[in-house]
Chain A
Amino acid sequence: MAQRLALCRLLSRPARGSLVSHGRAFSTSAGRRNTFNVQDGSDFQDRVVNSPKPVVVDFHAQWCGPCKILGPRLEKLVSKLEGKVLMAKVDIDDHTDLAIEYEVSAVPTVLAMKNGDVVDKFVGIKDEDQLEAFLKKLIGA
């Protein structure tokens, strides 16, 4: 009983940033390349606005519980797409100007950006199916 509980906990607790091994192989290095933390306004301009590939922007905060669940979940799905979509993470307390510019009120707020434009958006936590659909639409459209 105790063991099973431990296993469940391992599976359901998503890793922040790095991927924890729980029996399924993910390409860690690819994941790392496709996801990055935005450093400042000009970094955002270079790697998101001017990105040749579509980018999902994850606006999150240290104090936000749901963000800690959504972030890794989104990261995992982005890495599965093997570079077709990139993911930019923006901490709204560190980059308040950026968050305000993109009218972020609540977190998590995720923007889908293509050619510098916001083409899609959602606020709050979503499950894997919903995220997959969101990403598919971004690459497809």
Chain B
Amino acid sequence: MHDVIEAAKYEKKVMVLDFVTPTPQGSSWGLGGTCVNVGCIPKKLMHQAALLGQALQDSRKFGWQFTEEVKHNWMTMTESVQNYIGSLNWGYRVALRDKKVTYENAYGEFVGPHTIKATNKKGIEKLYTAERFIIATGERPRYLGIPGDKEYCVSSDDLFSLPYCPGKTLVVGASYVALECAGFLAGLGLDVTVMVRSILLRGFDQDMANRIGEYMKEHGVNFIREFVPIKVEQVEEGTPGILKVTAKSTAGDQMIEGEYNTVLLAIGRDPCTRKIGLDKVKVNINEKTGKIPVNDEEQTNVPYIYAIGDILQDKLELTPVAIQAGRLLVQRLYAGATTKCDYVNVPTTVFTPLEYGACGYSEETAVEKFGEENIEVYHSHFWPLEWTVPSRDNNKCYAKIICNIQDNERVIGFHVLGPNAGEVTQGFATAIKCGLTKEQLDSTVGIHPVCAEVCIQNHLKAHGILG
């Protein structure tokens, strides 16, 4: 979206082909991509719904009195969320029209050099040619490939517009999608179980990942570790119905069964690059993963074809990264700019019940890259002031700074587990981009009383490595 709007600024004739192939359950959505429709936006809103539930509980200790039992209505929440998304979809239509970008709700695929075939919902095909192309087709949730998966299971593509409360839910997976969804579903009062094949949040700092898991476990989310589903059967039809899941241990021959109203698959996402005719124009893709390798200017092996976003190999799957890459690409192509997208020190946040903000290296990656003896880790637990009165956990929130001793104790890793982690992390990400050192951190005066001040407080004590 943002790259086309940028290109139109430079008076280039631009067209956008956007098409959503419905999910096995029939879900579909409007203009805007994953983030707006079935990702960040609805996720954060539902996470907020769950946080508000917790806030209601806390509020009693602050003097709020209410005698009614507080319940959650899934339909009310979903309707509100979908209404907001509808306004965003329309906003994008208007933005494209204002910038005179041609928009087609059609499935695009290459049929030859510089030529694309666009097929709309009714099956009508049109051909278009262009000087340059940007592929930003994103990804879709992966299915397990077991009996009953497509017929009975849902994915994040379905969850945010589910026209009925999911009820007792089994979440399969340990990705941030799995944990965030499990987190807010449990926060809304549902019985939630997470089935994990091996580790939590692969690719993230594992100490932080385990703390997130522990917190969720202590707050009512069930975990089944080292099992994978092998079969999903329908016991009873309905909205929701009852599904029976059979799972096998990854560590032996043990089999277990369980019944749930909803099974949510969140085991990963696959790029939409297999059926867009890339072979016709000889664009290389990684056959195994489907990802597209590009150079540091987002150019594929075919000079007039570029790619951005989640489909890129070895790049971060984050909305702001895709937006930034797209904008800079267009500026380089048409405005004579030379700035390339900086994929280093990109901050991110996982919106699990206990939020996790991070920027830079995980502890284990820092050790691997710089050597144990060359890094110093400062850490501390903290108790948010807002949690004191309602007697919430005093030893769960946690912050960790990783410094490179050989480079002036440069801050190379920032990790915080606590409320508003995203808000806390954003500013520190800029500081890290500017080359933040431990000394500069120490010399910053804290704001009191806020959670973020723990990141600069002197009582962050150095500890041995991975202790």
Contact = CB atoms under 8 A, between A and B. Distances in A.
A binds B: yes
Interface of A: 61-65, 92-93, 96, 100, 105, 107
Interface in B90-133: 90, 93-94, 97-98
Contacts of B90: 61, 63, 92-93, 107
A85 to B, nearest CB: 27
B93 A64 contact: no
Interface stretch (B58-66, B78-86, B210-218, B336-344): B78-86
B83 A65 contact: yes
Contacts of B94: 105
Among B83, B84, B90, B98, the most chain A Cβ lie within 10 Å of the Cβ of B90
Interface of B: 30, 82-87, 89-90, 93-94, 97-98
A105 B98 CA distance: 9
A63 B85 contact: yes
Contacts of A61: 86-87, 90
Nearest to B89: A93
A63 B86 contact: yes
A93 B86 contact: yes
Contacts of A64: 83, 86-87
Nearest to A65: B83
Contacts of B89: 93
A113 B84 CA distance: 30
Contacts of A92: 90
B97 A63 contact: no
Contacts of A93: 30, 86, 89-90
A63 B82 contact: yes
Majority SS at the chain B contact face: helix
Contacts of A65: 83
A63 B83 contact: yes
Contact of A100 (B83, B84, B93): B93
Contact of A62 (B83, B93, B98): B83
B86 A62 contact: yes
A65 B84 CA distance: 10
A87 B205 CA distance: 60
A100 B86 contact: no
Given A93-B90, A100-B93, 18 more contacts: A61-B87, A61-B90, A62-B83, A63-B85, A63-B86, A63-B87, A63-B90, A64-B83, A64-B86, A64-B87, A65-B83, A93-B86, A93-B89, A96-B93, A100-B97, A105-B94, A105-B98, A107-B90
Contacts of B85: 63
A100 B102 CA distance: 12
14 contacts: A61-B87, A61-B90, A62-B86, A63-B83, A63-B86, A63-B87, A64-B87, A93-B30, A93-B89, A96-B93, A100-B93, A100-B97, A105-B94, A107-B90
A65 B80 CA distance: 10
Contacts of A100: 93, 97
A64 B88 CA distance: 11
Contacts of A62: 83, 86
B84 A63 contact: yes
Nearest to B82: A63
Nearest to B98: A105
Contacts of B30: 93
B232 to A, nearest CB: 33
Contacts of B93: 96, 100
A93 to B, nearest CB: 7
B18 to A, nearest CB: 13
A65 B82 CA distance: 12
A92 B93 CA distance: 11
A63 B80 CA distance: 8
A74 B90 CA distance: 23
A63 B87 CA distance: 7
A107 B87 CA distance: 9
A2 B89 CA distance: 41
A59 to B, nearest CB: 11
Nearest to B85: A63
Nearest to B97: A100
